[in-house]
């Protein structure tokens, strides 16, 4: 019983020490692998979400190692090939490419993280030739950064593309395709040196 109690105390002590070390900036953080860019668009008057990812994303990190996740990611950027959209439905993906993304002036979406403060990234997003700063809330959990925000397609002058996909999917969307889209990204973290 004493051994069990000592083991529990030791485990709690180590966990507390690691948490303090992370918070006090004694650890360096790096990315492990690439970055996954996701989206969720909405259809029908009931606003049913349809999500997916982009399979072709060119990620350019700003630094290799930093004191925390925010410092690691600020300055990093992505270039997204919209033809690589993957909603786990090939027919739908083909329609998204032909009737939405190809209707826009460019078939690439770019984004760059400009700053981070109070659990929020400010991300410069360029789509359809229009650039906007988009706030994205983020959390760091289980050695992973998870970020999420919302864009309005009208802000990116994508009215024509929205009307096109609404027409192409009129029956399935019950005549309604929403202009707001949830965007997100995730990336894994590693801690190469914790002192």
State yes or no: pLDDT of 96 exceeds 50: yes
pLDDT digits (tens, 9 = 90+) for 116-171: 998 999 999 999 999 999 999 999 988 999 999 999 999 999 999 999 999 999 99
Say if 1 falls within a structural domain: no
Distance, CA of 62 to CA of 106 (rounded, Å): 25
Say if 146 falls within a structural domain: yes
State yes or no: pLDDT of 52 exceeds 70: yes
Say if 11 falls within a structural domain: no
Contact between residue 183 and residue 38 where contact means Cβ atoms under 8 Å apart: yes
Q: What letter does residue 101 receive in the DSSP assignment?
A: G
Say if 15 falls within a structural domain: no
Q: What is the mean pLDDT of residues 25-31?
A: 83
Q: What letter does residue 93 receive in the DSSP assignment?
A: H
Secondary structure of 120-182 in the HEC alphabet?
EEEEEEEECCEEEEEEEEEEEECCEEEEEEEEEHHHHCCHHHHHHHHHHCCCCCCCCECCEEE
Average model confidence (pLDDT) for the chain? 88
Say if 107 falls within a structural domain: yes
Instruction: Indicate the number of domains in the chain.
Output: 1
Q: Which residue has the tokens 């000592």?
A: 6
Q: What is the mean pLDDT of residues 21-32?
A: 69
- Claim: this prediction has a pTM higher than 0.85: no
Say if 9 falls within a structural domain: no
**CATH code for the domain of 129:** 2.40.128.110
State yes or no: pLDDT of 85 exceeds 70: yes
Domain that holds residue 139: 27-194
24, two tokens: 């006090």
């Amino acid at each position: 019983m004493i051994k069990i109690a000592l083991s529990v105390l030791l485990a709690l002590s180590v966990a507390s020490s690691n948490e303090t070390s992370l918070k006090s900036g004694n650890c360096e953080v790096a990315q492990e692998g690439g970055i996954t860019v996701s989206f969720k668009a909405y259809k029908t008057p009931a606003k049913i979400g349809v999500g997916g990812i982009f399979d072709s994303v060119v990620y350019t990190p700003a630094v290799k190692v930093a004191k925390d996740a925010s410092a690691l990611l600020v300055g990093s950027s992505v270039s997204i090939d919209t033809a690589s959209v993957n909603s786990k439905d090939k027919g739908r993906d083909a329609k998204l490419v032909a009737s939405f993304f190809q209707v826009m002036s460019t078939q690439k979406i770019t984004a760059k993280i400009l700053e981070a403060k109070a659990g929020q990234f400010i991300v410069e997003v360029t789509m359809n030739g229009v650039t906007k700063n988009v706030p994205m809330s983020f959390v760091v959990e289980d050695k992973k950064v998870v970020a999420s925000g919302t864009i309005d397609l009208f802000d990116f002058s994508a009215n024509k593309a929205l009307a096109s996909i609404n027409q192409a999917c009129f029956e399935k969307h019950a005549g309604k395709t929403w202009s707001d889209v949830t965007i997100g990204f995730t990336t894994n973290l590693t801690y190469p040196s914790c002192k």
